[in-house]
């Protein structure tokens, strides 16, 4: 039994699903999360589109207490619908997380990613680029353990 926080990573990419593109964001996030003390308990890949994202996030958060980070589908391309799929399943928004993530670089302003809560899970969207997803997650990693303890209704020093 571990007392490490649990995390899951969802890569959203038509190209990765089709086998025409290598998943670089998912492994980068998993490595970053592990280095930050999270136990990455699942990695999954789905095609772009709000319905695919919503179905995957529903399955990944059901009965799960932890962090779910997505990579991909947050931009302006027609198939970039990760935020729409995420909004369909989250129960409460966490706009401060998404705002902090966007502030890490000028390109962050092009991210439509959202963050929110479903059950006892925090869901955060990051861009598909390995550099962008890691930078954006780094912007909030310091507060996520506290947020997850609050969500679990665990005692916290504050």
CATH number at residue 126: 3.40.980.10
Task: Answer whether residue 118 is part of any domain.
Answer: yes
Instruction: Give the separation between CA 75 and CA 110, rounded to whole angstroms.
Output: 6
Instruction: Give the separation between CA 151 and CA 143, rounded to whole angstroms.
Output: 12
Q: Would you say residue 147 has pLDDT above 50?
A: yes
Domain count, the chain: 1
pLDDT at 2: 47
pLDDT at 157: 63
Task: Answer whether residue 158 is part of any domain.
Answer: no
Task: Answer whether residue 125 is part of any domain.
Answer: yes
pLDDT at 13: 98
pLDDT at 3: 67
Domain extent for 19: 5-151
Instruction: Give the separation between CA 62 and CA 120, rounded to whole angstroms.
Output: 9
What pTM was computed for the model? 0.95
Comparing 62-66, 96-100, 150-154, the range with the smallest average pLDDT is 150-154
Task: Answer whether residue 100 is part of any domain.
Answer: yes
Task: Answer whether residue 43 is part of any domain.
Answer: yes
């Amino acid at each position: 039994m571990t007392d490490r926080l649990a995390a899951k990573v969802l890569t959203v990419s038509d190209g990765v699903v089709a086998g025409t593109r290598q998943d670089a964001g998912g492994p980068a996030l998993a490595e970053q999360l592990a280095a930050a003390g999270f136990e990455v308990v699942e990695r999954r890949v789905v095609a772009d589109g709000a319905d695919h994202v919503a179905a995957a996030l529903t399955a990944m958060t059901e009965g799960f207490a932890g962090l779910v980070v997505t990579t991909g589908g947050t931009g302006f391309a027609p198939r970039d619908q990760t935020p729409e799929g995420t909004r369909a399943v989250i129960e409460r928004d966490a706009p401060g997380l998404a705002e902090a993530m966007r502030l890490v670089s000028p390109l962050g302003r092009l991210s439509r990613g959202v963050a929110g809560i479903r059950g006892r899970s925090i869901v955060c969207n990051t861009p598909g680029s390995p550099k962008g997803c890691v930078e954006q997650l780094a912007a909030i990693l310091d507060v996520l353990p506290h947020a997850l303890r609050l969500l679990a209704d665990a005692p916290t020093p504050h």
